[in-house]
Structure 1
Amino acid sequence: MATLIEVQELTKTYFTRIFSNLSLSVNEGEALAIRGDNGSGKSTLLKILAGITKPTHGTVKCMNPDTMIGYVPENFPYNIRFTAEQYLYHMGRIRGFSGSTLQNRISSLLYQFHLGDQRTNAIGTFSKGMKQKVGMMQALLEESDVLLLDEPLSGLDLDARNDLESILYRLKSDGLTILFTCHDKKLLNNIADRVIVLGNQRIQSEYVPAKKSRFHVKIEADTNDQNLDFLDEIDGIISKKQTGNGDLLLMDVERSASDRLLLTLIQHGISIQSLRREDEK
């Protein structure tokens, strides 16, 4: 992989030293996870990479000067009175997008993040998971090359976590470079190509998480508005999403679970009209 970002001897001090002489490389197209205890500097490192906070010493160099970086904090801003569409339009206009180009980009993102039917709803009525999606969409308005996420699954329920994980997996498959802080082992194992652990003002360790062979599956089926919670009982279903009128299922599945998935759907009387597998790249 080509190096996209080079961090050299990074030091950050507030009232106390956060980390010292920290160096690392971020490769193009990889998902890099950052772990560590509270106060170890995970969020500070992301803010420095995003250009929000300056280091005390050291450098952050993008090998391509045109690299676009999008940043999503852990918590969405309070008291936003816009609808989802209004907020994204407002953020895009601040960045200099023209109206027609911006509207097309917003429509595409709302579809990708499964919020098309919520575009005119007030963000204040959204769940935390939905707000997290809006935060990610604003970070991707400029079709960023790098996405920085601070604890993207924090405070989300199981369905929201599975949905967001599936979205991150597809973004990664499309070639987006992703850096995220995380404590969730499932997300680390399913998304991260590499994990660094911060502690004692430095990188304490680095490892490659064990991955299970998996694929993304699209199933067109007549579900007759059935509740699909029974799929959660299948070991190996990583995430699932029912879209439209219930006739399209999107799932990330371990290869070992593929036969059990199809058999279980048939046993529950679901008529499968077509099946498409998109193997992991």
Structure 2
Amino acid sequence: MGRRFPLELEDETGRAFVGEHRPELVDLTELFRSLAALPIERAEEPEAWRTLLPDGATFLRMLGRTTALLRCRGPEVNDVVVKILAPHGGSPIVRWAETLRHSRAQRAYLWAHRLRAVGIEAPRPLGFLERKHQPALFPSLAVTEYVFAPTLVEFRDKELVELSTSKEGIMRKRLVIRQVAVLLRKLHAHDVFPAELGPEHIGIAADGAYVMALGRGRGDPIEAIGRLGRAFSGRRLSRTDRLRFIETFLRHHAGSGVARRRFLRQLEAPLAPRAALTNLAGDPPAALEKQA
């Protein structure tokens, strides 16, 4: 996991911040000191980022509403993804509970470390910055290494269409389906499904699928697999592809036959017809008719 160094700093108004970074990869001290003054309501403006960046840091482009790709040359890492995470809103009870928690950035930072610790491919977490007192009630900063890889959405909407129906395209499509299914199997085996995991949060690289987004804790695997199953639809994709996705996942799914069938029944509604999926689980058609 690498050694982590604590950070303590103050902005121009005297507000105290704490965090961590990994200077053996890239030193984030001055970057954090500068971006601590960036209001979250201006985090969508590229010019606001450019104005506040310290010497040696370069703004490249926005990756999301409050997420920017920056170049900060370090010993091992050059390009970093900086995300400003807003605090959760909600009722007074929810906000009171947040006073006892870490910031969203720290939770995402620790979750990314956990994913990598159990062998899940994910960008290296590089640091976080939060307010010193009641950090979950204020915006926070999380930084990861930038990994150049198209997301599952980009693969589906661009690369797959370009490959068309050639033999190469079909083989590439099946390989990606297998890579995503195996990634989900690893997440399920270690009980580390990130919350809100969707096709836009999975990167497709040459050596496999990555969890690209900073999560905010454990999510529901049934919901995540349902969302990803529906992602295998549209141009150049078919119901067969969705079935191949869930079949590959089930091949890697450990546990008894009863547990496997129970898990499958929870998935069948959003993914495919009852008969097709139940047959994947090993039930004969006669047994299916009795269940109906």
Higher strand share: 1
- Shared fold by TM > 0.5? no
Give 1 or 2 for the bigger CA radius of gyration. Answer: 2
TM-score, normalised with respect to structure 1: 0.30
TM-score where L is the length of structure 2:
0.30
